Amino acid sequence: MKTIVLKQRPVGTPTLSDFELINSDMDLNPNKGELVLETTYVSVDPYLRGRMSDAKSYVPPFEVGKPLSSGIVAKVTASQNDHFKEGDYVVGMLDWKTKQISNGEGLLKVDGDKAPLSAYLGVLGMTGLTAYLGLTEIGKPKAGETLVVSGAAGAVGSVVGQIGKILGLNVVGIAGTDEKVEMLKSDFKFDHAINYNSTEDMGAALKKACPNGIDIYFDNVGGAISDAVLFNINRFARMIICGAISVYNSTEIPNSISVQPFLIKNSALMQGFIVSNYSDKFPQAMQQLATWLAEEKLSYSETIVEGFDSTPQAFLDLFEGKNKGKMIVKA
């Protein structure tokens, strides 16, 4: 049985030496009410970087020397819990362990026949919920409006753009390679996509891609890309601040242009979005996402990395933009 623990708090960009893989031999015998889980898929997500630091945030930080945790799909290999039986698959926030004991709390049974098991960590999981609820609850989209998505080829971004198209928006994606840009346009039917790495003047590129201005901005990256967006927002623009991967590894407090004058001039809104604040809307949202998936209106991409031991490396690769869509480790 393997466990991955946080060896030390990363300073700036995390490295493999911040993690430690521990092998142990232990018999896992469930007591009454407990079940034994064998990890199938591990989700790695940019927001985990925040929990590796000691700063105050909306979730408590990971502890040094203790296992990390994230969304995991696991198989029930033994059960003393009435709600789960051997052979079931479940999804939940679980430790980075190949095997573990759970009391079943917070676990959701998933059906591998309805959708691939990995989808429950992506389009039918937190990723899809984040995309759908951020866009609808804060973005309040109206057909015909223009939506810009940063980190558009990422797990959340690619779903946001597709939902935007379903809702009748003009969708412009921003990503970091020509290959991703091509995927956004051909696979996900974005109206436009911009490679920020090969674009000198993002402001001008956005102006060209959004001749009617930007009504909604779904922001996964922050930094200079978000600055460029500000110059192109419309009156009453809504900006969903969902992630800021471009600055997560900063050791200094990052600077950018002052947003306040842009907000005033345009009566615009910026709101920090955390999907867990909207848990009362999860059932309706999951239903909608599953329907769109079944109707083939929604597709998704995954980057699946093989082997539980590769989990830290897969996490590090997120910051290099090596993933297309949801980054998942197959244990």
d(CA 102, CA 96): 13
Sign of CA pseudo-dihedral 20, 87, 41, 59 = negative
Answer yes or no: are the C-beta atoms of 116 and 323 closer than 8 Å: no
Candidates 94-102, 112-120, 221-229, 317-325 — which segment interacts with a second copy by CB under 8 A?
221-229
- Interface with a second copy (CB under 8 A), residue from 120, 188, 262, 308: 262
Is 258 a binding residue for a second copy by CB under 8 A? The answer is yes
Round the CA-based radius of gyration of the chain to a whole number and report it.
20
Nearest to 171 by CA among 199, 210, 135: 210
- Interface with a second copy (CB under 8 A), residue from 101, 247, 290, 304: 247
Sign of CA pseudo-dihedral 16, 329, 243, 110 = negative
- Interface with a second copy (CB under 8 A), residue from 106, 144, 261, 307: 261
We find the least distance from the C-beta atom of residue 316 to a second copy, in angstroms, to be 20
We find the least distance from the C-beta atom of residue 225 to a second copy, in angstroms, to be 11
State the amino acid at position 282 in one-letter form. F
> Within 47-106, which residues bind a second copy (CB under 8 A)?
50, 55-58
Is 272 a binding residue for a second copy by CB under 8 A? The answer is yes
Is 241 a binding residue for a second copy by CB under 8 A? The answer is yes
DSSP strands (E only) in 67-145: 69-79, 89-95, 99-102, 108-110
Candidates 9-17, 95-103, 116-124, 261-269 — which segment interacts with a second copy by CB under 8 A?
261-269
Candidates 82-90, 190-198, 241-249, 298-306 — which segment interacts with a second copy by CB under 8 A?
241-249
Burial of 82 (0-12, 13-18, 19+ CB in 10 A): exposed
We find the least distance from the C-beta atom of residue 3 to a second copy, in angstroms, to be 28
Q: Which residues bind a second copy (CB under 8 A)?
A: 50, 55-58, 219, 222-223, 226, 235, 241-244, 247-248, 253-274, 277
